[in-house]
Amino acid sequence: MTDPSRITLGVIADDFTGATDVASMLVRSGMRTVQVIGIPQGPTPAADAVVVALKSRTTAAADAVAASLAALRWLQDAGARQFYFKYCSTFDSTAAGNIGPVADALLDALGSDFAIACPAFPENGRTVFRGHLFVGDQLLSDSGMRNHPLTPMTDSNLVRVLQSQTRSAVGLLRYDTLARGVEAARSGIAALRADDVRLAIADAVSNDDLRVLAQACADLPLITAGSGVALGLPVVYAERGWLVPDQRAATLDSVGGSAAVISGSCSSATNAQVGDWVAAGRPAWQIDVQALAGGAPVAEQALAWAAVEGRQQPVLIYATAEPAQVQQVQSALGADRAGQLVEHCLARIAAGLVDGGVRRLVIAGGETSGAVVQALGVSSLRIGATIDPGVPWTQAEGRPLLLALKSGNFGSVDFFAKALDLVD
Ligand code: ADP
């Protein structure tokens, strides 16, 4: 039966915007969901699901395992009935892990002998067929992910990729088994277990496949997946009497105040979004990174401008630039120093805007979002309505402050204005 003092689902996410992505999926189907940044210190939030956002995707495998086990213990104490290890829909990992080692450690800690592994997210073009991951119409190894600076993905065969990271036997739960329905999927899992397979890559090319997977895994303590499989879980929990879906799960407070956008992402999607805002004649201020490096009081200048311009309408403050411009700055300052200078400056601006009465803030960029959330002293976010796939509005827990945290390549070209239109 439902028990308001315990959570139903505990999620361990290997990065910050990935955590928001899976949280958004759960809220959409009526689970009240809170995302916590790192392992929480305070009491258990009143929610059906808690997503612990770690930064464990590219750390040393031993560190990722230790952080994931600590998160698991906290979620067990909070009463979670099932656990979910969330990774990226492009299976981002290094040769050493961390998907395999973390999945092994969680299975050991839970005393379990089996979990699926399924990064598929068909709504965002990520599908798995016969164990091979596609990004749109391309195999993963032909997609841009092959050039990723930290986690280059050069093999699309996920059975092989995962097997190289784990001591467990890795198998495949194939699409034609899923197509025959939940009972067939359960039998497929039983057959894999009988063969001593401990982790099975699961095919999924549609939301129907994800729903079958969620049902077939209902009795397993652990699911490992991208955000897709989460789509099917609330129905499963409702059927078991563990959840009363809440039609208002995505409702956040009306916070009033003024609104602003901060952008530190230089991805092509964000460049287009900044261009769209500027072309519409909305107020925008570009950070001069060279002046910033030279010691100019750029944050103060931007805040003084926003104090005047922001009285009437939302403002955009951005460091976003085209690749050639970014490269020029990086070769003068070094990529790390440039990144940190800009992140620090944007985080100070965000704090200044909130001090000045901004209550609805859109932030573009994964690292930029991390820096801003830290500067604002936010450690817990309640998840609201989805703006675009993978990007919901969120509310700083217990505060009249709404934040939309957009990772670089997400969102339609009019994302900023669209996001601000959704909240008041
Ligand atoms: P994304 O989600 O698109 O990867 P991030 O915020 O994670 O965006 O990363 C963008 C990085 O680029 C940040 O470290 C940011 O500070 C840095 N940056 C932003 N604008 C500039 C610029 N004009 N020149 C150099 N670096 C920049």
DSSP state of 200: E
Nearest protein Cα to ligand 1, atom 4: 408
Output the CA torsion 106→108→113→117 (10° steps).
20
Nearest protein Cα to ligand 1, atom 6: 365
Instruction: Kindly give the confidence (pLDDT) of every residue in the chain, 424 residues in length, as a single tens digit, with 9 standing for 90 and above.
Output: 567 779 999 999 998 888 999 999 999 989 999 999 989 888 889 999 999 999 899 899 999 999 999 999 999 999 999 999 999 999 999 888 899 999 999 999 999 999 999 999 999 899 999 999 999 999 999 988 887 767 889 999 999 999 999 999 999 999 999 999 999 999 999 999 999 999 999 999 999 999 999 999 999 999 999 999 999 999 999 999 999 999 999 999 999 999 999 999 988 889 999 999 999 999 999 999 999 999 999 999 999 999 999 988 999 999 999 989 999 999 999 988 999 999 999 999 999 999 999 999 999 988 899 899 999 999 999 999 999 988 999 999 999 999 999 988 789 999 999 999 999 9
The finding on whether 329 has its CB within 6 A of some atom of ligand 1 is: yes
**Does the N-terminal peptide bond of residue 98 adopt cis geometry, omega within 30 degrees of 0?**
yes
Centroid of ligand 1 to alpha carbon of 210 (angstroms): 34
> Which residue is it, tokens 């200044």?
352
In the chain, what are the domains? Answer: 9-239 (3.40.50.10840), 258-421 (3.40.980.20)
The finding on whether 204 has its CB within 6 A of some atom of ligand 1 is: no
Give the Cα separation of 289 and 325 in Å (integer). Answer: 10
Backbone angles phi, psi at 348, to 5 degrees: -65, -40
The 10 Å Cβ neighbour count of residue 303 is 20
The finding on whether 390 has its CB within 6 A of some atom of ligand 1 is: no
Q: Which of 150, 267, 271, 367 to mutate to test the pocket of ligand 1 (most atoms within 8 A of CB)?
A: 367
Centroid of ligand 1 to alpha carbon of 184 (angstroms): 47
The 10 Å Cβ neighbour count of residue 367 is 18
R_g of the chain computed on alpha carbons: 22
In whole angstroms, what separates CA 333 from the centre of its chain?
Answer: 30
Tokens representing 235 are 């129905």
Give the Cα separation of 209 and 201 in Å (integer). Answer: 13
H or E stretch at 62: helix 61-77
| Closest-CA residue to 81 (of 247, 249, 240, 216) | 240
Which atom of ligand 1 sits closest to the CA of residue 318? 20
Contact criterion met (CB below 8 Å) for 348 and 322? no
Which atom of ligand 1 sits closest to the CA of residue 17? 2
